[in-house]
Amino acid sequence: MANKISQDVMPEGSQRIIGRDAMRINIAIAYAIAQILKTTLGPKGMDKMLVSDLGDIIITNDGATILQEMNVDHPTAKLLVEVAKTQDKEVGDGTTTSVVIAGNLLRNAGQLIDKNIHPTTIVRGYELAEKKAQEELINIAGKVDVKKKEELKKIAKVALGSKGIGTDMDKDHIASMVVDAVTHVVERSDGRVVIDLDLIKIEKKAGGSVNDTQLIKGIVLDKEVVHSGMPKRVEKAKIALLDAPLEIEKTETDARISITSPDQLEAFLKKEEEILRRMVERIKAAGANVVFVQKGIDDVAQYYLAKHGILAARRVKKSDMDKLARATGARIATSIEDLTEKDLGYAELVEERKIGGESMIFVEGAKDSKSVTVFIRGGTEHVTSEVERAIKDSIGAVASVLKDGLYVVGGGATEVELAKRLREYAKSLGGREQLAVEAYAEALESIPSALAENAGMDPIDTIVELRAKHAEKNGIHYGVNVLEGRVDDMQKVGVLEPYRVKRQALASATEVARLILRIDDIIASKGSSKDNKKDTSSETDLD
């Protein structure tokens, strides 16, 4: 009877799925997404090729990128996309881990629901398990000596390890560069570590090899000098930043100029030229020998700038203007009339260089040496894009460690140890929550299991061996050594991960599992908008 009433209330064409069926669908979709990402986990993980409607191709094994580009339609799948986005924004790495754990938490919950355990009981058990896991995680975390770059390099290399970006030598080179970049922009304020990652600009250009990627202490702009008569290299540059056009803009109000003779036309053109010349002379009077303009530069203005020996670039992005302002100490002027010497920034060198057949402007030795650019090279656009994603993950990992000063051991060692401790904790619980805590522990073991499977090892044998090792007195750091295909002490191997990444992965996975398990009714009002349109059109015809 209740079903009949609800169908009468809802618009025609809508769908409703109730109770266990709704839960099973949600769990199946979440687990399917986790299974898609599972094969990308770890250094031996495979890549995905994603083709858009327009035929654009992305080849990657970055979890956040895969989920964003998959263009998923189901609401549950979109919730998992949100998990990946949160993980990516918060810590910059560990997106695949969080989604795989979330998918397995839901699959295990589905098995408990089939045993007539209420979802609310499972959610309560998962919350207890996450709280205990977070407590144990801080207990097994180790301290990183942030002054030792070799320690940070290990963490950077692990973040790069899961990306197919060339040889071990390439990864060594990039890991060193990432550590240099992050430590360069780090500041300490009131005893806290403050890292502004906006100070690290990432620019890429296809050509060369991954090993040609370099760190530049300054800003690189994907722009060229606007006039052939301008200098291509300026030392001891005094830089003006303009958020105003060096051209005569059309007025917002409609206006008409009536010219009736050649003399009037000549006078009009001379007036325009005079206005542009005065603009350039104003820049020259302020003492600038380099000018970056966010808007356009007229041909006449280009000529006068070249005549005065001023290097200029136009249509510079707002984000790049902000970075230039921070790097050089310049103030972005919104009016040329107000430009003074105090508004100018300083850099040791501004130079146009040919990279991969295209011109780029390098601003080096800036007043604020905190700003750096990671200039990525690679054989193709796809390679440079994947290197960019890998570097962003690695930067996030190193920044996380510097903020906390804590690390955990990778290779699934942390997950196995947490699972072991959760099983011991479950024994102390009464009631059905005990089963949910055990299900949570099993979900954590999906990480070492996936690592083993991706490396061609037997996942069941690997988990059995890992449990045995962790039962020993000094077995806390044993995980999956995917490069050698065996169970190993991952701390000795040097596989370290940021504590913050693991903490966020557990929190995100539990949050989304709790959210999805509480859903017992899916109401999709499809078709209602079409019906409304039909009704509207019929009313219009009658009128």
- Is 170 annotated as catalytic? no
Tokens standing for residue 94: 């560990």
Specify whether the CB–CB gap between 246 and 280 falls below 8 A: yes
Q: Which amino acid is at 75?
A: P
Query: Which is the catalytic residue, given 86, 96, 373, 384?
Result: 96
Q: How many residues does the chain have?
A: 543
**CA torsion sign, 145 to 147 to 152 to 153?**
negative
- C-alpha 96/C-alpha 156 separation (Å) is 17
Locate all alpha helices (DSSP H) within 70-165, ordered by sequence: 75-91, 95-114, 119-140, 149-161
Query: Which is the catalytic residue, given 60, 76, 95, 97?
Result: 95
- Is 62 annotated as catalytic? yes
Nearest Cα neighbor of 362 from 225, 241, 228 is 225
- C-alpha 37/C-alpha 31 separation (Å) is 10
Give the number of C-alpha atoms closer than 13 A to the C-alpha of residue 299, restricted to the C-beta side.
0
- Is 404 annotated as catalytic? no
Nearest Cα neighbor of 148 from 501, 388, 494 is 494
- Is 96 annotated as catalytic? yes
- C-alpha 341/C-alpha 512 separation (Å) is 55
DSSP codes joined into one string, 153-202:
HHHHHHHHHTS--S-HHHHHHHHHHHHHHHHHHEEEETTEEEE-GGGEEE
Q: State the catalytic residues.
A: 62, 95-96, 393
